Chains A and B, each alone.
Chain A
């Protein structure tokens, strides 16, 4: 057979595949979207004016602050517990790794709502909590009703439960780091803690950050569960208002808008964090927002 390139081949026009299915889907979605928007805007029972009227209401803003604060504290507890349990799971000591597995199994295996109510009612189980030596002297003690306030119950419930999920995320992150990294760091004389903090954890962060962002967004919304133990977070506040005014739908819109705003902010923050911990991935180094910020700070510190 002769090579074809000896013949002058005519320039042929390229006809792209016609994607009729995609056009149809697009048309249907646009149509449904238009209907939804029209209905939302024209149905007076949405009461948009009322929804926006409560947007900056003092009680709503109070609840908003509680929600943000509770999310941050619960995630902090969750991350600390998660790192501890992930390290525990990797321990050579079977009692330690078993205890960590038990913790994770218990908190993942029972509903959060049950855990919250359980913590709230701890006083029924242990009326007096005390610090001391088991079977020995007691240094301090107090009534569980006083110590376990609803807020403490909420933080314990949300934080400890989150710790179980975070530990799996942290564990996957730690596993993703090449063991050669640990060996190289040890060979340079770093101690176990230094290897973990400076070498393994920063590299694990690339794998840990994205699901942690998801967990934080989920936590923001999960905090609404603690309204059942009378924590005045944003949903509780809104419920308190509409139980007086019966403006249920507009107030649910108010609270949804706030949740949407917060999750959007968190999503943007997560994007910057991910970029920071991906440094070194790219062939041409790109300094992340955080790296530039930290570099500027250390430059300023130097005389």
Chain B
């Protein structure tokens, strides 16, 4: 079953075309790593998937549903804020800068959206939150405020926060790029565990070793287009396109 299907996606910022026609498909349970030089449009494309950015042309479907639009008699009708929010709730996103809510404890960070958006019973949301915190190894931090945690701990909380919405798809935008080198491993461990659990994931990363080990598909982007895509052994082991070769020569 197809989880994400992007067809001819274009996005520009004030006349500056950033994403120039991306087609890609991600199956349910697949882990796709998106590689590419800085400024190639990886973040922008990721943000189009959950409609944090509005696309200019093309379509993106998540679990068969158009993101941000409804198809009706051959026309695309833009959805209202509430409807977009509802669809976003099923897509988890993890940011480079963690973006935890600093005025809430770790536990509140995890329970806020399930209670507010999904109208869950606070007790049920809390119970799952404690399970998730145990899973990311932070059981003892439920009452702590984000600023008292290390970067690696904050990012693990951010992953648990996204998971507490029980998403069908997880988007990661350079989740380890803001971390000190010795803290990268603990976050990648959590992501590896999640992948093994069958979560569908799109991961923008510069961690080539992680991509080689965990990804089902590695997609290389440059200048707003997909240059090369395939199993990690092919794209990373035997890149066909000179731009992929040049990029890998730099980062490896």
Stretch at the interface among B16-24, B88-96, B189-197: B88-96
Please give me the residue from chain B that is nearest to A199 by CB atom. B101
Asked whether, in the complex, the Cβ of A190 is within 8 Å of the Cβ of B99, the reply is no
Asked whether, in the complex, the Cβ of B103 is within 8 Å of the Cβ of A187, the reply is no
Stretch at the interface among B7-15, B112-120, B222-230, B237-245: B112-120
Q: Does A31 contact B (CB under 8 A)?
A: no
Asked whether, in the complex, the Cβ of B113 is within 8 Å of the Cβ of A190, the reply is yes
Asked whether, in the complex, the Cβ of A285 is within 8 Å of the Cβ of B113, the reply is no
Stretch at the interface among A131-139, A178-186, A248-256, A266-274: A178-186
Q: Does A194 contact B (CB under 8 A)?
A: yes
Asked whether, in the complex, the Cβ of A188 is within 8 Å of the Cβ of B161, the reply is yes
- A279: chain B residues within 8 A (beta carbon): 103, 145
The docked-state distance in angstroms from the alpha carbon of A117 to that of B86 is: 51
A188-B162, A189-B113, A285-B143 known; A280-B103 Cβ under 8 A: yes
Asked whether, in the complex, the Cβ of A188 is within 8 Å of the Cβ of B147, the reply is no
- A184: chain B residues within 8 A (beta carbon): 93, 95, 99-101, 158
Asked whether, in the complex, the Cβ of A189 is within 8 Å of the Cβ of B146, the reply is no
The docked-state distance in angstroms from the alpha carbon of A280 to that of B91 is: 27
- Which residues of chain A (275-290) have a CB below 8 Å from chain B? 277, 279-285
In-complex Cβ contact of A283 among B90, B97, B148 (8 A): B148
In-complex Cβ contact of A280 among B81, B88, B117, B146 (8 A): B146
Q: How many A-B residue pairs have CB under 8 A?
A: 84
Asked whether, in the complex, the Cβ of A180 is within 8 Å of the Cβ of B99, the reply is yes
The docked-state distance in angstroms from the alpha carbon of A187 to that of B158 is: 12
The docked-state distance in angstroms from the alpha carbon of A280 to that of B113 is: 19
Asked whether, in the complex, the Cβ of B52 is within 8 Å of the Cβ of A186, the reply is yes
Q: Does B82 contact A (CB under 8 A)?
A: yes
Asked whether, in the complex, the Cβ of B89 is within 8 Å of the Cβ of A189, the reply is yes
The docked-state distance in angstroms from the alpha carbon of A188 to that of B100 is: 11
Interface size class of A (residues with CB under 8 A): 20 to 34
In-complex Cβ contact of B89 among A188, A202, A283 (8 A): A188
The docked-state distance in angstroms from the alpha carbon of A27 to that of B148 is: 46
B241 to chain A, nearest CB (A): 32
- Which residues of chain A (155-186) have a CB below 8 Å from chain B? 178, 180-181, 183-186
- B89: chain A residues within 8 A (beta carbon): 188-189
Please give me the residue from chain A that is nearest to B116 by CB atom. A194
- A283: chain B residues within 8 A (beta carbon): 147-148
In-complex Cβ contact of B148 among A189, A199, A285 (8 A): A285
A54 to chain B, nearest CB (A): 46
B33 to chain A, nearest CB (A): 20
A194-B117, A280-B145 known; A180-B95 Cβ under 8 A: yes
In-complex Cβ contact of A187 among B50, B105, B116 (8 A): B50
A200 to chain B, nearest CB (A): 10
The docked-state distance in angstroms from the alpha carbon of A283 to that of B118 is: 31
A280-B147, A283-B147, A283-B148 known; A189-B117 Cβ under 8 A: yes
- B162: chain A residues within 8 A (beta carbon): 187-188
Please give me the residue from chain A that is nearest to B148 by CB atom. A283
Please give me the residue from chain A that is nearest to B102 by CB atom. A280
Asked whether, in the complex, the Cβ of A202 is within 8 Å of the Cβ of B103, the reply is yes
**Residues on B facing A (Cβ under 8 Å):** 47, 50, 52, 81-82, 85-86, 88-93, 95, 97, 99-105, 112-113, 116-118, 143-148, 158, 161-162, 165
Apart from A184-B100, A188-B162, A285-B144, what 17 extra A-B contacts exist at CB < 8 Å? A184-B99, A186-B88, A187-B52, A187-B92, A188-B113, A189-B85, A191-B85, A199-B101, A202-B103, A203-B103, A280-B103, A280-B104, A280-B146, A282-B147, A282-B148, A284-B148, A285-B148
11 A-B pairs with CB atoms under 8 Å apart are A178-B99, A184-B99, A184-B158, A185-B101, A187-B50, A187-B92, A187-B162, A188-B112, A191-B82, A281-B102, A283-B147
